[in-house]
Structure 1
Amino acid sequence: MFTKLLIANRGEISCRIIKTAKRMGILTVALYSDADQHALHVEMADEAVHVGPSPSKDSYLQAEKIIQIALKVGADAIHPGYGFLSENATFANLCEQNNIIFIGPPVSAIEAMGSKSAAKNIMELAKVPLVPGYHGNDQSVDGLKSHADKMGYPVLLKAAAGGGGKGMRQVWKSSEFNDALAAAKREAMSSFNDDLMLVEKYLTEPRHVEIQVFCDNFGDGVYLFERDCSVQRRHQKIIEEAPAFGMTPALRKQMGETALKAAKAINYAGAGTVEFLLDSDGQFYFMEMNTRLQVEHPVTEMITGQDLVEWQLRVANNEPLPLAQDALKINGHAFEARIYAEDPSNDFLPATGRLSLLQPPIESRHVRVDTGVVQGDEVSVFYDPMIAKLIVWDENRDKALARLTKALTEYHIDGVVTNIEFLYNLASSAPFKAEQIDTGFIEKNHDLLLLNDKQDIKDLLPIAVLYLMLSSQQNSASDVQDQYSPWSLSNAWRANEQYLQNLELMVADKTFSVQVSQSGAVSQLKAGSQTVFHINVDQQYYQCAGVIEKNQLISTVNGHKTIANVNAHQDGHSVFCNGKVIRFKSLQADIGATQDNNADAGFIAPMNGTVVAILVEPGEQVELGQTLMVMEAMKMEHSLKAPAAGSVSEFYFKAGELVDGGTELLAFQAVQPNKIKNESA
């Protein structure tokens, strides 16, 4: 076995690989960019070497520099993780030329599957079923569009060199094709430096089912069963499960053997994933093969009891597969939920910020957390916004799903917006429990999954107010000279009048007026006394009592007892309770400040990022919905569209320039309705 392993990656996957390598007695070397100088994977590794500036193109994608670092530190093997250089044939070839073991398949296999169009041709010859589509060399707009028109809409545009949903667009009608193709090509060029496209018939209600395969260097191969990865947003997975629900033994065997046929068609070795679309009629079609370890590999590990990273290292060390097919068994059910810094209520836009609170659920044989960050770390604009992977296991799907929803209620993150509450809504929804799932699940159930926002505020605001009242009492108690004096109380005591306080709380740009009165002992500071707060929030009345213990609030609201975690931060407080969270701040008195609400004032950048394209000229007349500018951040494109007919009077940034979130990007002038009438007269 090799003795020193360099991990050409960062974050969660680096930490994951380091854990297995250490258990096997292998020394580890981490790489880090400027932004990752104090990252968890750097702390965990035996050695760490600076690889370059924060942008990945200047650091983690510097293939030749990474090879030189490996030679300098004496690493005899490199694990590329996933993403970055993991499916880069040039990098794998450089490893081979420098006598460094590449923990992955042969260069020829990476090259064969590196182009989606070439992969389709190989699979067609191997008799692997394919989705109808065009994978040829005619890349002209008219040529690609003619194939789409013949195929019939909807169609799916996919970058031939793509992955992770990048360079991919659904096209629902012919008139949308040109814009969708241009956007897909831009994103593909930005992500992969290759804008070759293919067109496929888009199945409207398929499931995304993938098979984990493993092959050694002696011609043997196995499949470690399947994962259902149908729940996706922006063509990227957020909840995966293994095994796939509704899978018969016959279909499992058929898909597994087909996946092995695909792997053997390219003389594969190592860990790979063959991805299929499974239609409602039981037919399945090859999508692509990922020649690396997948993000969702932990659910396979949980149901098989195998360490897939160890399998990778042993196969790369020219050892035979640890187990034969008949020795592999499925035990129980597992889910993985990807915890992202993103805003589900704003089209899942990535978020940045410092993790002021990071409190994962307690790990056990049922609960596993794979992460690459700790409390205080920053989620930056430079990398994917995934914070962690929450993996749960139990004897069957229902029990595992109960584990997942409970663990999500115990996962508390503050400082950045996350998708935890959305994941809880999803996992606890009736359609998900009933296995009514396909790749359009989120779009079909969007209103249901975000339905609880207003109800959450209604349920949690009384708890937030109660916390403010109790914490105010505690703070006052520590400074009290005479605990029996009414002048020492913080309960709005007035002689011969009701104890009444008026508050204003802001939650997500909405202000709530709150009135609080109290009842109980004359001095609420006496030992054993119980304060009862009567809270009126926008004419909704609540009777509340509770106690604060460290950062937990044990409350009773209208007879309903709950336990909430409260985190105080610079911008206010966050209340976490039963899988829900609200962030609020107590407002100061209004001093009459005004705000310019001119609708034509301009467009605000929704996130930190880079301007990648300006698609109209200043002064040019545009139509409602026309794309004006395209931004990119955290591997995602965001298009700014005209809210009405009009024109851009000025762009404040050029293509290629960095932009801070909240910055005004352009000035837009809408055409007045009477002006349109006059011009058309």
Structure 2
Amino acid sequence: NTRLQVEHPVTEAITGLDLVAWQIRVAQGEALPITQAQVPLIGHAIEVRLYAEDPSNDFLPATGQLALYRESAPGPGRRVDSGVEQGDSVSPFYDPMLGKLIAWGEDREQARLRLLSMLDEFAVGGLRTNLSFLRRIIAHPAFAAAELDTGFIPRYQDELLPVPGALGDEFWQAAAAAFIQSLPAGDGPWADTRGFRAGLPAEVSLHLSCNGQDRLVTLPTQPPLLRGEQLLIEHQGVRRAHLAVRSESTLYLRWDGELHAVSLFDPIAAVEAGQLHQGGLTAPMNGSIVRVLVEVGQAVEAGMQLVVLEAMKMEHSIRAPQAGVIKALFCEEGEMVAEGCALVELETAD
């Protein structure tokens, strides 16, 4: 086989052989240096693929800019193969794989724990990825016990793909503390972030937005301290550090294993977003319209295919969520559309 498999680093990890170098030597007419029987098998290795995709939306590919990209620290038994860096854009024209994380250990459990640690250190912000999904798999007790088959993900779907819930008070307090302390230094009295009020105790309030939720937060007099990119929170004598990285107007805060994008709440943008999605079907990702299967005035049934979008070598169908009549079309075949762009307006049947 002249083609290297995506998982070839696993083979390299447990054999200590450089398969790419072997390919080049064979291409030059050299013979393989050892036979199959002489290939050593040492320890255990596990690989995961990091993709720009949305596990909560049927794993559709995601596009956008890598506003934050931090790889795990190098070390024994650790390997990261990637082709991106912070600031790069993920387009709809190529495969959405960002990289591969490979961990080696003397046994499977050591390799698993090492890989789990690597996933904990990795941070990607600016677009959706499967990073948290991978971490939940590797950390799952059934995976640790090697109780694996093709039904693993459906069997534990509620644990591996949990439905996002409301963000708690502790999260919002932490987000506000990190957000205010990570603001760049400004000039003049209006840039002061200490919450000065004439004749009243100092008070700092922020209206923040995250994951479609928003909260007006008033900081306590002694909020958690941000040291570098670590927000230190002490609870019942235990201190925990949470990654908190600012990228322009957005703060990326790691909380309960998830990296959340926090920004100041924009009430005008929230109203516009609500109006845009009312009765409208939007593009789930950047891509090209390959087929428009309906016309204005046409009656459609729930589940009927309306538009076909192509992105990253795959076709994705936009279907009617319920029965109704096509009120307007905002796309045509061959057109490039951006994620969130309105494609079809559907007037539902009463």
TM range (shorter): 0.7 to 0.9
Alignment of 1:535-550 (within 5 A): 545-549=224-228
* 1:409–1:580 Cα contact (<8 Å) kept: no
1:301, CA displacement in angstroms? Answer: 0.9
SS in 2 for 1:647: strand
Structure-2 separation of matches of 1:578 and 1:645: 39
The answer to whether the 8 Å contact 2:177/2:219 transfers is: no
Instruction: Give deviations 1:426-469, integer Å, cap 9, x for gaps.
Output: 21122222223223332332221133843876664332222134
Written as runs of structure 1 = structure 2, the 5 A alignment for 1:597-616 is 597=275, 601-616=279-294
Q: Which amino acid in the other structure matches residue 438 of structure 1?
A: D
After TM superposition, give the deviation of residue 628 of structure 1 in Å. Answer: 1.2
Kindly state the Cα deviation for residue 400 of structure 1 after the two structures are TM-superposed. 0.8
Q: Kindly indicate whether the alpha-carbon contact (under 8 Å) linking 2:245 and 2:253 is maintained by their aligned counterparts in 1.
A: yes
* 2:218 corresponds to 1:515: yes
Q: Deviations over 1:81-116 (max 9, x none)?
A: xxxxxxxxxxxxxxxxxxxxxxxxxxxxxxxxxxxx
Q: Secondary structure at the match of 2:259?
A: strand
Structure 2 CA distance, aligned partners of 1:450 and 1:429? 12
Could you tell me how far 1:407 is from its partner in structure 2? Answer: 0.6
- Give the C-alpha shift of residue 493 in structure 1: 4.3
Does the CA-based 8 Å contact 1:456-1:582 persist in structure 2?
Answer: no
Q: How far apart, CA to CA, are the structure 2 residues paired with 1:509 and 1:568? A: 19
Amino acid at match of 1:666: V
Q: Distance in 2 between matches of 1:453 and 1:602?
A: 23
Whole-angstrom distance in 1 between the partners of 2:34 and 2:79: 24
Q: Which residue of structure 2 aligns with residue 359 of structure 1?
A: 70
User: Aligned partner of 1:358: which letter?
Assistant: Y
1-structure distance, mates of 2:268, 2:28: 71
1:468-547 map, 5 Å = 468-471=179-182, 475=185, 490-494=193-197, 497-518=200-221, 532-533=222-223, 545-547=224-226
- Corresponding residue for residue 405 of structure 1: 116
How many residues get paired? 349
**TM-aligned CA distance change 1:559 to 1:386, over 3 Å:** same
TM-score by length of 2: 0.88
In 2, distance between residues paired with 1:420 and 1:362? 16
Displacement of 1:405 in angstroms is 1.0
Q: Secondary structure at the match of 1:649?
A: strand
Correspondence for 2:6: 295
Q: 1:462 to 1:424 in 2, by over 3 A?
A: farther
In structure 1, the residue corresponding to 2:47 is in which secondary structure? strand
Q: Is the 8 A contact 1:334 1:392 kept in 2?
A: yes
Within-5 A mapping of 1:304-453: 304-451=15-162, 453=164
Q: Where does the alignment leave 5 or more consecutive residues of structure 2 unmatched?
A: none
Please report how far the alpha carbon of residue 509 of structure 1 lies from its aligned counterpart in structure 2 after TM superposition: 1.0
Q: Is 2:295 aligned against 1:584? A: no
Are the aligned partners of 1:336 and 1:389 in contact in 2 as well (CA < 8 Å)? yes
Please point out which of 447, 452, 466 is paired with 2:177: 466
Q: Larger Cα Rg: Structure 1 or Structure 2?
A: 1
**Given the alignment, which residue of 299, 304, 309 partners 1:621?**
299
1:8 aligns to what?
none
In structure 2, C-alpha distance between the alignment counterparts of 1:369 and 1:345, rounded to whole Å:
25
**Match of residue 562, structure 1, among 222, 237, 240:** 240
Q: Match for residue 553 of structure 1?
A: 231
Instruction: Report the CA distance between 1:338 and its aligned residue.
Output: 1.1
Q: Would you say the 8 A contact 2:208–2:262 is kept in 1?
A: yes
Q: What residue in structure 2 maps to residue 646 of structure 1?
A: 324
Change (3 A) 1:637 1:459: farther
State the superposition RMSD in angstroms: 2.9
- Report if aligned partners of 1:352, 1:379 keep a CA contact under 8 Å in 2: yes
Secondary structure at the aligned position of 1:454 is classed as coil
Distance 1:366 1:452, change over 3 A: farther
How far does residue 305 in structure 1 lie from its aligned partner after superposition?
A: 1.1
Give the alignment of 1:16-55 within 5 angstroms.
Answer: none
Aligned pair in 2 of structure 1 residues 470, 592: CA closer, same or farther (>3 Å)?
A: closer
CA contact 1:600–1:669 (8 Å) conserved in 2: no
Compared CA separation, residues 295 and 426, structure 1 to 2 (3 A): same
Q: Percent identity of the aligned residues?
A: 38
Aligned partners of 1:344 and 1:419 also within 8 Å: yes
What is the match of residue 634 of structure 1?
312
Give the secondary-structure state (helix, strand or coil) at the position aligned to 2:215: strand
- Would the alpha carbon gap of residues 559 and 496 (structure 1) be closer, same or farther in structure 2, given more than 3 Å must change? farther
- Please say if residues 232 and 239 of structure 2, whose CA atoms lie closer than 8 Å, have aligned partners that are also in contact: yes
Deviates more, 1:292-301 or 1:451-460: 451-460
Partner Cα distance (2:6, 2:338) in 1: 30
TM superposition shift of 1:624: 1.1
Q: 1:500 is paired with a residue of what secondary structure?
A: coil
State whether residues 250 and 262 of structure 2, in contact with CA within 8 Å, keep that contact through their aligned partners in structure 1.
yes
> Aligned letter for 1:639?
S
1:494 Cα deviation from its structure 2 partner = 4.3
Distance 1:328 1:452, change over 3 A: farther
- Please report how far the alpha carbon of residue 495 of structure 1 lies from its aligned counterpart in structure 2 after TM superposition: 6.1
CA distance in 2: counterparts of 1:363 and 1:444, whole angstroms? 34
Check conservation: 1:546, 1:556, Cα contact below 8 A.
no
Alpha-carbon distance change, 452 to 323 in structure 1, aligned in 2, over 3 angstroms: farther
Q: Which amino acid aligns with 1:644?
A: Q
2:220 counterpart SS class = strand
- Say if 1:623 and 1:646, in contact at 8 Å, map to a contact too: yes
Change in CA separation of 1:470 and 1:410 when aligned onto 2, cut-off 3 Å: same
1:409 touches 1:578 (CA, 8 Å); kept in 2? no
Structure 1: give runs of 5+ residues left out of the alignment.
Answer: 1-269, 272-291, 481-486, 519-531, 534-544, 673-681
1:504 and 1:651 map into 2 onto residues whose CA distance is 36
Q: Give the distance between the partners of 1:591 and 1:294, measured in 2 at CA.
A: 49
Task: Give the direction of change, closer, same or farther, for the CA distance of 1:500–1:312 in structure 2 (3 Å limit).
Answer: same
**Cα distance per residue 1:227-282 (max 9 Å; x no partner):** xxxxxxxxxxxxxxxxxxxxxxxxxxxxxxxxxxxxxxxxxxx44xxxxxxxxxxx
1:132 match: none
Counterparts in 2 of 1:479 and 1:314: CA distance versus 1, 3 Å = same
Asked if 2 retains the 8 angstrom alpha-carbon contact of 1:315 and 1:321, the reply is yes
Structure 1 segment 165-184 matched on structure 2, within 5 A: none
Preserved CA contact (<8 Å) 1:357 1:413: yes
Preserved contact between residue 499 and residue 517 of structure 1 (Cα < 8 Å) = no
1:547–1:555 CA contact under 8 A, matched in 2: no
